[in-house]
Structure 1
Amino acid sequence: MIFEGYHPLDKTMFQVMDEEGNIIKPEYMPDISKEQMMEMYQLMIQTREADLKALMYQRQGRMLTYAPNIGQEAAQVGSAFPLKKEDWMVPAFRELGAWLTRGAKLEMIYLYWYGNEFGSYMPEDLKILPVSVPIASHLNHAAGIAWASKLQGKDEVTITYFGDGATSQGDFHEAMNWAGVYQVPVVFLCQNNQFAISVPRGIQTSSETIAQKALAYGMPGILVDGNDIFAMYAAVKEAFDRARRGEGPTLIEAFTYRIGAHTTSDDPKRYRSDEEVEKWKKKDPIDRMKKYLMSQGILTEEENEKIIEKAGKIAEEAFKYVEASGDTVLEDIFKYHYKEMTPQLTEQLAEYKAYLMERGEA
């Protein structure tokens, strides 16, 4: 059992694969096939390429503010991969790899960052909640969904994502306390990327780890190397198994790094050094996985280039679709809020149309 060997107060980090792609804890290597490993790798590449394209489109003025995921691909893909179809995902806003792993279409994700709220729509069978930008507010939703699953006797697990900054919000503590008291099947996945916008982890909390916060709420916590996709998969899979057995919630701290800016409106050079970033680039989760796959004869350099090229083309085609059809229809701004428009929204829509007519813009 992973959690028994990695108590959060011991401050030891769970790792299966080192930075050079070597398996250092074979006893914890997850039972996944070579085909599944390749699928995970391709999802990380797709996440990276979609990120790079989005950053380019934003800088060209073709997309609105964007939150990059570069450096956090293993934490996202590895944690979402063990989800079953009936499970729930409650994201914040920096979960591109998790969304793609879960089956969300890149077109819809791009549509959201393009400024069209319909990009928040996810097919019901995916069971993914919309993007939540207010920090930590969605954690109570996750606890509530998990509680509902328990009350209904359903074999469902909920995973929710948040950053290290969210642990300073009251919603985090309320959700953790509720989940612990009612022993609901939820996994709290903290992507500790070392910065909450410009606030470094070191002054976010005096706790030596975020994982140890789990103890105050009566649940297991574990510190995991967030750039090790095998460690992420193994830890989350065990947390899911615990939840399905009725053993309650878990807090997982994925220790990783945000290589890019908080969003495209942020300048990280103002609060961190280039030397620090370069140090973390050497721990790149994709490079680590690539080294492992190549050492095992599962991947060749030629195949790798094809995967990258294909991922880039998928991203380009997705954005072509968005640019061709993604402009927001005026009525959608008002109709999107509820199944049926309220009298107040109907009145506001009429007023705004009249305003546009006066300006000659209708």
Structure 2
Amino acid sequence: MNEYPWDEAAATGVGSHPGEDHMEAIRMAFGETSLPYLPELPGRGVGADMIGRSASLLVDLHAEVHPSGWRFTDRPGRDAKRAADHLRRDLDGLEEIAREYQGPLKVQVCGPWTLAASIELRYGHKALVDPGAVRDIAESLAEGVAQHLADVARRVPGARLVVQLDEPELPRVLAGSVPTASGFGRIPAVEPMIVRERLETVISACGEAFPVVHCCAAGVPFEVIRTAGARGISCDASLLRRQDEDPIGEAIEKGVAFFLGVVPGTDSRLPDIGVVARPAIELWRRLGFPPARLATQVVLTPVCGLAGASPAYAKDALATCRKAARVLREDPGEE
């Protein structure tokens, strides 16, 4: 039996889509990828953004929008209700379209470190400055993610769930380069052990779902993510450095799947599918792994979300990833 929820030659999206039509976005995700997912539509406004959507999953923690961004508050208000309504509407649409679906299904949630680096405490500082607040966020998010996955499983009982934790701020958290709320300072670096522990808190709550951590920034901390329990790592293939190859190789050796971003997330001229597939093939060859494992252990994606693209380009980008993924299976040894 395949150790991954998807079949060979899989392709998927990172999460966000352009526009405001959630039903059309869900149909596109199911129609253009072999690993469909629940799209996010930040263009709908407050509460549909990555931070607001995931903040709505927090248990016993509430956030509202202030002039400087999302901030924790004592009780839920209009913005929290709007975020919950967006998510509920999306889940209703997913249930309508995919109720009888049998196969892999991905959902995306903002990870604890990016939430902590993005949401302010009541007195105005980012939550990241307070280790106790970060711990509370991780524990609250873990409980909320477990409930969310149970809801998705109930609505689509034939789904083999994949949960993607979006952590674009992870490299800056570790490097001490996240700006303070004022923008004039930087929040001190967090120790890798603490970063790993908080990630592990959320990953452990995923149950039988396959946990993937996505980071589209440079300097992905592959070792921290792997040792936190992630079974997949999603990244932009164009940002990988030679010094990344040792931790990538170690992760692959241990069975970690890689979701490699290989096409731009905004309107561009899409290259031939052989060119799109090449970064994965060349990486695999350099690391010396058996070609037969490539199409199973690597999933192709756009480099990041598609919210900034046109709907036509978003569809073409996903289709290109799907076609390029077949190259990994059909002839992974060729240039």
TM-score (norm: length of structure 2): 0.35
Structure having the higher helix fraction is 1
TM-score (norm: length of structure 1): 0.33
Q: Which has the larger radius of gyration?
A: 1
Q: Structure with the greater relative contact order (CA < 8 A, sep ≥ 6): 1 or 2? A: 1
